[in-house]
């Protein structure tokens, strides 16, 4: 059987917010405005941006990804974390226990997050069909080989298999720089 080949997408710093936090930041009844659909079904880049403020500094104009979620969170790289004065854990999206907080500043107000700043753990979204075809299970740790001038194998990658997933790998900009994953890049998914 051949290996699963996936598009490798680089994910920049971004914010996910609850409906209540969105209203605090942008005003009562505010709705996120679609700028661009993302590869994962139902996910989109919005026109809205906020400032992320930490103990030492701020990141200005950080994009909000929609739709709204049950808990607000900020996903950054380790490079982004330095000027903020934050030491974020490497964590799966939504798993925020033990993470530091920050302040989100919008045009209508600000929100103090007691937790929620993370460096997203590298992961591969795998459709249920591809999961069955290639033998991957949700939550399984896998490896992904990137070819090119800065070829490397990403280890400790989380497989996210499900009906709501389109098959694609997500890494942050630090990881993209390390592997030279610019433009259209594919990786080979391998069992550990």
Which residue range is the domain that position 92 belongs to?
Answer: 12-120
- What pLDDT is attached to residue 148? 86
Q: What is the pTM of this model?
A: 0.92
pLDDT the model gives residue 192: 87
CA distance 97 to 116: 8
* Residue finishing a domain among 99, 120, 141: 120
DSSP string, 125-140: EEEHHHHHHHT--TT-
Final residue of a structural domain among 120, 150, 181: 120
Same domain? 112 vs 28: yes
pLDDT reported for residue 1: 54
DSSP symbols for 152-182: EEEEEEEEEEETT--SEEEEEHHHHHHHT--
Indicate if 77 and 148 belong to the same structural domain.
Answer: no
**What is the pLDDT, as a whole number, of residue 12?**
93
Identify the segments of the chain with pLDDT beneath 70: 1
Q: Model confidence over 24-62: pLDDT tens digits?
A: 999 999 999 999 999 999 999 999 999 999 999 999 999
Residues 182 and 154 in one domain: yes
Pairwise CA distance, residues 138 & 162, whole Å: 7
pLDDT for 132: 95
| Pairing of the two strands 110-120 and 90-91 | parallel
130 and 36 within one domain? no
Residues 33 and 113 in one domain: yes
DSSP, residue by residue, 46-85: EEEEEEEE-SS-EEEEEEEEES--SS-EEE--HHHHHHHT
């Amino acid at each position: 059987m051949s290996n699963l080949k996936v598009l490798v997408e680089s994910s920049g710093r971004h914010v996910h917010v609850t409906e209540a936090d969105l209203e605090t930041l942008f005003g009562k009844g505010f709705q996120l405005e679609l700028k661009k659909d993302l590869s994962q079904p139902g996910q989109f880049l919005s026109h809205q941006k906020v400032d992320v403020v930490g103990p030492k500094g701020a990141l200005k104009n950080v994009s909000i990804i929609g739709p709204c979620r049950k808990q607000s969170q900020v996903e950054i790289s380790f490079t982004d974390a330095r000027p903020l004065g934050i030491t974020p854990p490497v964590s799966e999206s939504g798993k925020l226990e033990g993470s530091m907080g920050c302040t989100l500043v919008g045009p209508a107000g600000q929100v103090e997050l007691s937790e929620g700043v993370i460096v997203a753990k590298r992961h591969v979204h795998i459709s249920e069909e591809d999961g069955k075809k290639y033998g991957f299970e949700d939550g399984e740790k896998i490896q992904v080989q990137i070819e090119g001038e800065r070829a490397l194998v990403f280890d400790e990658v989380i497989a996210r298999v499900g009906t709501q997933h389109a098959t694609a790998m997500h890494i942050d900009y630090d990881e993209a720089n390390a592997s030279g994953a610019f433009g259209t890049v594919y990786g080979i998914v391998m069992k550990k």
